Amino acid sequence: PMDKGMQTADGAEVHFGVNHLGHFCLVDLLTPKLKASAPSRVVVVSSSLMNAGKLDLDNFDLASGRQLSPEEQQKRSFVPAGYADSKLMNALFAKELGRRLGPSNVHVSCICPGWCYTELPRHVDFPWHRKLLMLPVT
């Protein structure tokens, strides 16, 4: 999606908008209810791919995400930078939200669901044998 310049209806880079902004806004709207119904909890779903992410606000554009340096462009991995960055933002959001809401008896957890069968790699261009490795084994 980043290579294709995909954006949300509001003009945000699609990973940033869908994976982070949407959840951020929802939790912000729910915070008064979460506090009023304490003990309560928020579960933020991130990904271990956040380890490939980078939070670089000096090189971040709302419409296109983080601008990759020439070195980063050369060593492109199969993980889209926008996805990894958005998942890192999820984890940092959960940490800060927990710090802020902890005294209100609202518990915040951040989890990685592990390997799941999804359509996420449909926009990632890598060889069929790598896709085969991502199939669920049962």
C-alpha 71/C-alpha 124 separation (Å) is 20
Residue among 27, 65, 81, 83 flagged as catalytic: 83
Instruction: Please give the backbone phi and psi of residue 28, each rounded to the nearest 5 degrees, phi first.
Output: -60, -45
Residue 2 carries which side chain, given as an amino acid letter? M
CA distance 18 to 120: 13
83 is catalytic: yes
Assess contact for 50 and 88: CB atoms under 8 A: yes
In the numeric block, which tokens belong to residue 6?
Answer: 């995909």
In whole angstroms, give the CA distance from residue 68 to residue 65.
Answer: 9
What is the residue type of 23? H
Distance from C-alpha of 61 to C-alpha of 59, rounded to nearest angstrom? 7
Known catalytic residues?
A: 83
